[in-house]
Amino acid sequence: MTIAAVVLAIVLALFSAFAGVPKAGLKGPATEMLTGRGLSANLVRFIGAAEVAGAIGLLIGIAWHPLGIAAGIGLAIVFAGAVIFHVRHGDFSDPETRGGSVPSIVALVLAVVTVIVLAAA
């Protein structure tokens, strides 16, 4: 595995873990925003658990490539869903909510690049 693949996997894993742990525990402003927009607490908890599982899968995937690639694809799907959620709620056009929405785009791009680099390694 290349150094770039390891670095990207670690960065995406940290990003996913920091995003997922508060959701899994139903704490923090992201959780309040999601539940305030109609998502159930169980769905928010599931999204958080998926992000944490993806982070763990990426870290294990450093040693076993197929798991890392699968975890990266799963995270790309989760973050694509986040982008769609924010688009549907108009968060990117509202200056007050834009700051909390942009990280979903960054995470999606990071996940896609990580999968490509892991697959090429």
What's the pLDDT tens digit per position in 54-102? Answer: 999 999 999 999 999 999 999 999 999 999 988 888 877 777 777 777 8
pLDDT digits (tens, 9 = 90+) for 101-117: 788 999 999 999 999 99
Amino acid 14: pLDDT: 97
Task: Please tell me which of 17-31, 46-60, 94-108 the model is most confident about, judged by mean pLDDT.
Answer: 46-60
Q: How confident is the model at residue 1 (pLDDT cuts 50, 70, 90)?
A: low
pLDDT at 106: 93
**Cα–Cα distance, 94 to 81 (Å, whole number):** 19
* H or E segment to which residue 92 belongs: none
Confidence of residue 31 (pLDDT cuts 50, 70, 90): confident
Total structural domains within the chain: 1
Distances (CA, A) of 74 to 29, 48, 53, 61, 103: 24, 13, 9, 13, 17
Structural domain span for residue 68: 3-120
Whole-number Å distance between alpha carbons of 21 and 113: 23
Q: Is the pLDDT of residue 35 over 90?
A: no
Q: pTM of the prediction?
A: 0.89
